[in-house]
Amino acid sequence: EVQLVESGGDLVKPGGSLRLSCAASGFTFNDAWMDWVRQAPGKGLEWVGRIKSKTDGGTTDYAAPVKGRFTISRDDSKNTLYLQMNSLKGEDTAVYYCFTERDGSGIYYPGYWGQGTLVTVSS
């Protein structure tokens, strides 16, 4: 069974930092392309960024609002995706989801999503 389990969400002050994790199981993580998406309270879905597999270069791409503040990384030995968030702002308050853009078999959008973790930025 495929599982994506996010963790690390918390209440943090403006200007602070936080690292989210997404633990993957049930598929070949090291060949997967993984994304982060967020959803502010009562709002729609917003793409945050993605990381390709190391075999595809391991490159990262980010949405404009987070570029330069957020960093996506992966530890394939732990089947875990990370989102390092620095210089946090109130508008970063959201539920953060990880999802699989391409699985280890090369199938795009297999439908793997985590349950989300809440980040609240407030003083």
Three-state SS for 19?
strand
Q: Which is nearer to another protein, 35 or 92 (CB)?
A: 35
Nearer to another protein, 52 or 74 (CB): 52
- Phi and psi (nearest 5°) for 116? 95, 155
Distance of CA 12 to the CA centre of its chain: 18
Instruction: Return d(Cα 86, Cα 12) in angstroms, integer.
Output: 11
Q: How far is the CB of 16 from another protein (least distance, A)?
A: 25
* H helix count then E strand count, the chain: 0, 10
Closest distance of CB 68 from another protein, Å: 15
Task: Name the minimum Å distance from CB 114 to another protein.
Answer: 6
Point out which residues bind another protein (CB under 8 A): 35, 44-47, 50, 61, 63-64, 97, 99, 101, 108-109, 111, 113-116
Greatest CA separation for the chain: 44
C-beta closer to another protein: residue 16 or 39: 39
